[in-house]
Amino acid sequence: MKEKLFIIKIGGNVIDNDAALQSFLKDFAAIKGKKILIHGGGKIATKIGDKLGVESKYINGRRITDDDTIDIVTMVYGGLVNKKVVAQLQSIDCNAIGLTGADANIIPATKRPVKDVDFGWVGDVEAKQIPANNLKLFLENNIVPVLAPLTHDGAGHILNTNADTIASSIAVALSTHFDTRLIYCFEKKGVLENVEDENSVITLIDKPKYAQLLEENKLFAGILPKIDNAFAAIDAGVKEVLIGDAQDLLQNTTDNTSGTLIK
């Protein structure tokens, strides 16, 4: 039997709140066994960009990563946020190492081709291009990778990459070596049957259930990419995916009694 590996992604709602972050990191450090943390950027990159006079640019609601923006996200995600998390984990007996995809070439990516829109320095990753042994070296030596949502093109450039996608891609890439469990922490307690009601968490979504939910048109549109991502990861070898509140999920990693389990 393969060893269990938790791959946990946190978003801006945890990163932007010092108390929430500290509490999350305590729960994360307490998880026994192998684990990887992937963090998003939070609002601080936009705040620092504004102060530096770099405007956030969007085309059709999608962010463009131009020359100035890639410098800012490299500083903020790869420097400020990543090292703050690492230093805090080190102080609570978790031997963390902060990495971007360029470091030790753990996540090579491809700059998104320019079609109708030039997204700029954005990297698309594919699980099969990830050299799993590079990340495995850290896990085998009980070092806990903390990943910023940045990759590289192999030609000298850092690329901005969606943190959810990084999480699912490495979960898939490492699934041949480990029994990988992907945990998406977000601001809700799970996938909700009724988005207005925090107590309407759907505890299990399998494919028939998902088809039924889609037909009933009940789900909040924003959650659909996360669920699609989760099923894609499972089809590619990930054992299970959990979606929900950071604290609930991390304090119950052994019995999966919280959040929405996708199988």
Residues in touch with a copy of itself (CB under 8 A): 48, 51-53, 71, 74-80, 82-84, 86-88, 90-91, 95-100, 102-105, 137, 141, 143, 150, 152, 154-158
What is the closest distance, in whole angstroms, from the C-beta atom of residue 109 to a copy of itself in the complex?
11
Give the nearer residue to a copy of itself in terms of CB position, either 105 or 203. Answer: 105
What is the H or E stretch that residue 181 is in? strand 178-185
CA distance 86 to 129: 26
What is the closest distance, in whole angstroms, from the C-beta atom of residue 260 to a copy of itself in the complex?
32
Give the nearer residue to a copy of itself in terms of CB position, either 96 or 230. Answer: 96
CB 147 within 8 Å of CB 36: yes
What is the closest distance, in whole angstroms, from the C-beta atom of residue 76 to a copy of itself in the complex?
6
| DSSP conformational letter for 49 | H
User: Which whole-number Å values give the CA distances from 197 to 92, 188, 190, 192, in the listed order?
Assistant: 35, 10, 11, 7
CA distance 168 to 226: 10
Backbone angles phi, psi at 31, to 5 degrees: -65, 125
CA distance 137 to 104: 10
Give the nearer residue to a copy of itself in terms of CB position, either 79 or 237. Answer: 79
Give the nearer residue to a copy of itself in terms of CB position, either 150 or 172. Answer: 150
What is the closest distance, in whole angstroms, from the C-beta atom of residue 96 to a copy of itself in the complex?
7
Give the nearer residue to a copy of itself in terms of CB position, either 73 or 127. Answer: 73
Of the candidates 261, 225, 256, the residue with the CA atom closest to the CA atom of residue 243: 261
Q: Which two tokens stand for residue 188?
A: 């809700």
What is the closest distance, in whole angstroms, from the C-beta atom of residue 137 to a copy of itself in the complex?
6
What is the closest distance, in whole angstroms, from the C-beta atom of residue 83 to a copy of itself in the complex?
5
CA distance 29 to 97: 13
Give the nearer residue to a copy of itself in terms of CB position, either 143 or 224. Answer: 143
Of the candidates 22, 40, 231, the residue with the CA atom closest to the CA atom of residue 149: 40
What is the closest distance, in whole angstroms, from the C-beta atom of residue 51 to a copy of itself in the complex?
5
CA distance 57 to 43: 15
CB 39 within 8 Å of CB 15: yes
